[in-house]
Amino acid sequence: MLVIPAVDIQSGRAVRLFEGDPRQETVYYENPVEAALHWQKQGAQMLHLVDLDAATGRGENRAVLRAVAESITVPLEVGGGIRSLEAAREILALGASRVVVGTVAVKAPEVLGQMLREFGPERVVVSLDARGLEVVVSGWAEGTALRVQDISQRIWEMGVRTLIYTDVRRDGTLAGLDLEVVREVRAAWPGFLIAGGGIASDADLEGLQTLGVEGAITGKAIYEGRIDLRKWV
């Protein structure tokens, strides 16, 4: 299974949020480049970067993203506030291997379609962030009353082949995964599935393997030494 370290960037620093609340941050690295280099040295095969300021409309960290891309050799995927074709072009031009989009997949599927046509499914990943199975958007601030299963079917038909599912009720809490919910997502998604949100131990990763989930995004658990990334690469 592909275990992907998360480097979440807020106000230029590498942080983790509690349940996505920007006011409840833990700073792990003042310089996100140091975080990226650390996880690369530990054997990471890919990094997951999120511009938290762009996701919530408070600003952006493009210069930091570029610095990370120029400093590492492993592929990186970048998400956070990518809601237009031009924004996706800019992130890929910075050096990202692929863009991660969420809100546009729900609110502007025509933009997602444009991205897929221009960049191909190997460079466009959809992230469905949800409270359980209800999808939320706009930096997790807005509910949609839409279910993961419904949107996943639609985006599969559009040509998306990689899906990230994050349970925002648990993200950054070290509460462990809700594997029964992940089981439902796995049943609904025929493509490459990456899960995250609350991963706390090797047992969570082993549970994902049992469900046939191909990838996992983890942040706080590896930053705090609960999971040794080297065991999973």
96 backbone φψ class: left, alpha, beta (φ>0; ψ -120 to 50): beta
Which residues touch 112 (CB under 8 Å, ≥6 apart)?
101, 104, 105, 124, 126, 155, 158, 160
129 is catalytic: yes
C-alpha–C-alpha distance, residues 53 and 186, integer Å: 30
Q: How far is CA 11 from CA 22, 26, 116, 139, in A?
A: 10, 12, 30, 15
Task: Write down the catalytic residue from 129, 167, 171, 204.
Answer: 129
Length of the chain: 233
8 is catalytic: yes
Nearest to 162 by CA among 46, 57, 54: 46
Burial of residue 114 (number of CB atoms within 10 Å: 0-12, 13-18, 19+): middle
Question: Is residue 220 classed as helix, strand or coil in its secondary structure?
Answer: helix
C-alpha–C-alpha distance, residues 155 and 160, integer Å: 6
C-alpha–C-alpha distance, residues 196 and 209, integer Å: 13
User: What stretch of H or E contains 40?
Assistant: helix 32-41
Active-site annotation, residues: 8, 129
